C-alpha cells in the first residue's frame, strides 16, 4: 500500500494535470451503489459521447460496496477509478486516508458549496430524500402520517429497510439519533409499536406496492417512479423533517484511467448527466437544472440536520446498537 503522503502527492499532481489529458479511452472501473436503472442510462450516454471508453460497472448495495472497497484497500490496491455511493461518511474516510484525487471540475460553480467537498475531493452526484411512502389503497389522504411519530401509529403495517444494509436508512438512523426531538429512542418506540424491518430498499418498496405494508420509510424518486408506472403508492414529506442525502462521487487517487475517470465525473455533473437523473425523479445538484415536476424546490423542504463527520466516527457503534435492538 502506498503511504498516505505519496497518495496525497499523486492527488495533487493529477489535479494539476487535468488541462493536459488526452481524449479518454480504455476501460473505466466504476463502483456504485446507485440503482442500475439510474446509472445504466448515464453510462450509455457517456459511452455514446466517448466511444473509446468502456465502463466496467460494479454494482452492490451500500454496505456491501463499502466492505469491498475497504477489503481492496487492505489488500493494497483499490481497483475503482470512480466511486459513486450513498454514504457521505465513506468519502470523508477515503479522503482522510488519501484514497481520493482532487478534481477541479468545470461544473463546480453550478453546484452549491454544501454539495461539494471544500478541497474538490468529491461532489454530490445526486440528492434524494427519505420520508414516508404509502400505499394509496390502504391509506387515505387524511390518514397520511404528518410526522414520524404518527408513522408509528401504523404498528406492524409500518416498515423500514435495515440500516445494516441500506445506506440511506443508515444515514436516517444517524439523523434521528442526532435529533433532540426524535433520538435513537424513536427506534425503541418503533420496536415496541411493531414496525417491521426488512433487508433492503427493494424489499420494503415491493412490500408497500403489494399492500403488505401500508406505510414505509420511503425514498422520493423510488416512490415517484413506481407511481409513474401505475403502482398505488405516493410519497409524503413529514413535517418534522426528511433526510436530504447527497450521494458523493469521486475519482480515486490510484486510478489507472485518470482521464476517463475525470471525464465521467464531469459528465455526471453536466446538465446532460443531471437531466438523466431528473428524468428518474431525482433532485438535481445543479442550480441551473429544474427539479422533477411535482417535487418541491429545495428551499421548501424541511431537512433533518446530520453531521457526517459524526457519522464517520460513530458509524460502527451505531450499527451495533441497532443490531442489538432489531
From first to last of its 326 residues, the chain has per-residue pLDDT tens of 444 444 444 444 444 444 445 689 999 999 999 889 889 999 999 999 999 999 999 999 888 999 999 999 999 999 999 999 988 889 999 999 999 999 999 999 999 888 999 999 999 999 889 999 999 999 999 999 999 999 999 999 999 999 999 888 999 999 999 999 999 999 999 999 999 999 999 999 999 999 999 999 999 989 998 999 999 999 999 999 999 988 999 999 999 999 999 999 999 999 999 999 999 888 899 989 998 887 777 667 899 999 988 998 999 999 999 999 99
List residues bridging with 57 in a β-sheet: 30
Q: Which domains does the chain have, with CATH numbers?
A: 4-127+245-295 (3.40.190.10), 129-243+301-325 (3.40.190.10)
Q: Which residues of 299-315 are buried (b: 16+ CB within 10 A; e: fewer)?
A: eebeebebebeebbebb
pLDDT at 299: 67
Helix 201-210 and helix 220-228: axis angle, to 10°? 40
pTM value is: 0.73
pLDDT at 283: 87
- Specify the pairing of strand 196-198 against strand 158-161: parallel
CB distance 130 to 219 below 8 Å: yes
Please give the Cα distance from 326 to 323 (Å, whole number).
5
Q: Which residue has the cell 451495533?
A: 320
- CA-wise closest residue to 270 among 113, 111, 32, 37: 111
CA atoms within 13 A on the CB side of 39: 22
Amino acid at each position: 500500500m502506498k503511504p498516505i503522503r505519496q497518495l496525497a502527492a499523486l492527488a495533487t499532481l493529477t489535479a494539476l494535470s487535468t488541462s493536459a489529458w488526452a481524449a479518454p479511452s480504455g476501460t473505466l472501473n466504476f463502483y456504485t451503489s446507485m440503482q442500475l436503472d439510474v446509472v445504466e442510462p448515464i453510462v450509455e450516454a457517456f459511452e455514446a459521447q466517448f466511444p473509446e471508453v468502456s465502463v466496467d460497472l460494479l454494482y452492490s448495495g451500500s454496505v456491501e460496496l463499502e466492505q469491498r472497497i475497504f477489503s481492496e484497500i487492505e489488500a493494497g490496491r483499490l481497483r475503482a477509478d470512480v466511486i459513486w455511493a450513498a454514504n457521505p461518511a465513506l468519502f470523508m474516510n477515503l479522503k482522510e486516508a488519501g484514497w481520493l484525487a482532487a478534481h477541479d471540475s468545470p461544473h463546480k460553480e453550478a453546484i452549491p458549496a454544501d454539495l461539494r467537498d471544500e478541497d474538490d475531493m468529491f461532489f454530490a452526484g445526486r440528492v434524494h430524500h427519505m420520508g414516508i411512502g404509502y400505499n394509496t389503497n390502504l391509506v387515505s389522504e387524511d390518514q397520511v402520517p404528518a410526522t414520524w411519530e404518527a408513522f408509528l401509529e401504523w404498528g406492524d403495517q409500518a416498515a423500514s429497510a435495515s440500516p445494516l444494509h441500506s445506506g440511506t436508512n443508515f444515514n436516517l438512523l444517524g439523523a434521528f439519533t442526532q435529533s433532540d426531538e426524535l433520538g435513537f429512542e424513536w427506534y425503541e418506540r418503533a420496536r415496541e409499536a411493531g414496525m417491521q424491518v426488512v433487508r433492503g430498499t427493494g424489499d420494503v418498496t415491493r412490500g408497500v406496492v403489494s399492500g403488505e405494508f401500508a406505510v414505509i420509510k420511503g425514498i422520493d424518486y423510488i416512490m415517484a417512479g413506481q407511481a409513474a408506472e401505475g403502482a398505488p403508492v405516493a410519497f409524503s414529506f413529514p413535517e418534522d423533517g426528511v433526510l436530504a442525502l447527497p450521494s458523493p462521487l469521486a475519482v480515486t487517487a490510484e486510478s489507472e484511467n485518470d482521464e476517463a475517470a475525470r471525464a465521467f465525473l464531469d459528465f455526471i455533473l453536466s446538465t446532460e448527466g443531471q437531466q438523466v437523473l431528473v428524468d428518474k425523479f431525482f433532485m438535481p445538484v445543479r442550480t441551473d437544472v429544474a427539479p422533477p415536476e411535482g417535487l418541491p424546490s429545495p428551499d421548501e423542504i424541511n431537512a433533518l440536520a446530520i453531521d457526517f463527520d459524526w457519522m464517520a466516527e460513530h458509524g460502527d457503534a451505531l450499527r451495533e446498537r441497532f443490531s442489538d435492538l432489531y
